[in-house]
Amino acid sequence: MGRVYKTFATVCASGLTALVLSHARAQKFEGVAETPPMGWNSWNHYGCDIDEDLIKQTADAIAQSGLRDAGYTYVNIDDCWHGERDEDGFIQADPERFPSGIKALADYVHERGLKIGLYSDAGRTTCGGKPGSQGHEYQDAKQYARWGIDYLKYDWCATGTGEDQRNPREAYALMRDALHAAGRPIVFSICEWGDNKPWEWGEDVGHLWRTTGDIINCWDCEVGHGNWFSSGILPILDKQAGLRAYAGPGHWNDPDMMEVGNLPALGENRAHFVMWAMLAAPLIIGTDVVNMDPKILEILTNEGVIAIDQDPLGIQGFPIMKSPDLEYWVKPLEGGDFAFAVLNRSDEQKRYAYDWAAHPVGDNANGWNADTANIRYTVSDLLRGRDVGTTETPLTGAVPAHDVVVFRMKKNG
């Protein structure tokens, strides 16, 4: 009898161990997004009008233009690459647009020193009406791993409404577990538009989460599309308020893919890029890189600005002072440095002045204080590419309409 009991206890204990282990296995891949992901995505510029030639040409352009060497690694195919599921339920690429298949495309992208991403959806269909992953999560994750996929953006269309809506936390965790079980390290991008506060639960589930609805290429507009709307640069920027505490290495707020290159004015493109860097946002290019204006390439490859975004501390910046038209933003950086940007939201050039003695700079949330009364920082103008003074005197200058100035304050020269 004792032996039976002992065996029973052993079975129970091993069952418990298995349960604990299976719980422990439910995790995202670590170490794949220690700094905000950088790359390109097809959606903002091409929508559903994509095919394998476009993706190959884009990969070539990223590799040859200097974008890859500046850090843009991921070539992400958004909605509409999908064909039908095969007879076993495995998803296939659209045979007309991607006749060589995704594996061949992934090889092509990898051969150029880049990584490749795909898009799917937690519902029955994607936002573009293609097959979603609901009910096929493990199968899709296995297929992505077989193909060599490195990044998955996972959308939230067709997930039901009202009481019938999927629980977002569970739906995203299910795909996380499926990806983990498939065994290929992958960046998991949660795209549920901020509706269910993904910043509160996303850290254990994915590597980045959209904080808002879709971006659109205007400076300060919101455009309605029936039951949803898209937002320009300033409204998206404003919606980031209060979220900085949730971001850090491996888990980022995502204010959406960039419209840099798609905005009408050069200064707007520059300001958008700099502000995304101040936010420690993923830097996902959303424009035509094959026929890129050299001035846009120059913005996107600015090393100093990229270093702000990619700073290892992973602290999201914040506005420290605001006037009706100007915002002064701070982002603590590695080595005691900090980034300082002045954004001009208005339609006219404005003069700015920041007196370090009158307005001390600090970030209570991270226990950091610039202590400009005792430390002299060298002021490096990142857009002009040179040092322009020190924090011994107030920072003054002019910033054009819809534009930005940005500095790295260097603690040791």
Binding residues for ligand GLA (CB under 6 A): 43, 78-79, 119, 126-128, 155, 191, 214
Which of the following is catalytic: 79, 155, 288, 337?
155
The 3-class secondary structure across 47-113, one letter per residue, is CCCCCHHHHHHHHHHHHHHCHHHHCCCEEECCCCCEEEECCCCCEEECCCCCCCHHHHHHHHHHHCC
How many helices and strands in the chain, by DSSP H and E? 12, 22
Closest approach, Cβ 291 to ligand GLA, in A, equals 22
- Of 278, 404, 270, 384, the closest CA to residue 343 belongs to 404
From the number of C-beta atoms within 10 Å of its C-beta (0-12, 13-18, 19+), residue 338 rates as buried
- CB-nearer residue toward ligand GLA: 178 or 191: 191
- CB-nearer residue toward ligand GLA: 79 or 327: 79
Burial per residue of 306-333, b for 16 or more beta-carbon CB atoms within 10 angstroms, e otherwise: bbbbbbebbbbbbbbeeeeebbbbbbbb
Taking the CA atoms of the chain, what radius of gyration do you get in angstroms? 23
- CB-nearer residue toward ligand GLA: 65 or 134: 134
- DSSP secondary structure of 340-407: EEEEE-SSS-EEEEE-TTTS--EEGGGTEE--TTT-PPEEEETTTTEEEEETTS-EEEEE-TTEEEEE
Q: Determine phi and psi for 280, rounding to 5 degrees.
A: 55, 45
- CB-nearer residue toward ligand GLA: 119 or 354: 119
Report the SS3 class of residue 306.
helix
- The question of whether 155 is a catalytic residue gets the answer yes
Which of the following is catalytic: 121, 214, 256, 311?
214
- The question of whether 214 is a catalytic residue gets the answer yes
- CB-nearer residue toward ligand GLA: 83 or 128: 128
Closest approach, Cβ 256 to ligand GLA, in A, equals 7
Closest approach, Cβ 255 to ligand GLA, in A, equals 12
Instruction: Report the catalytic residues.
Output: 155, 214
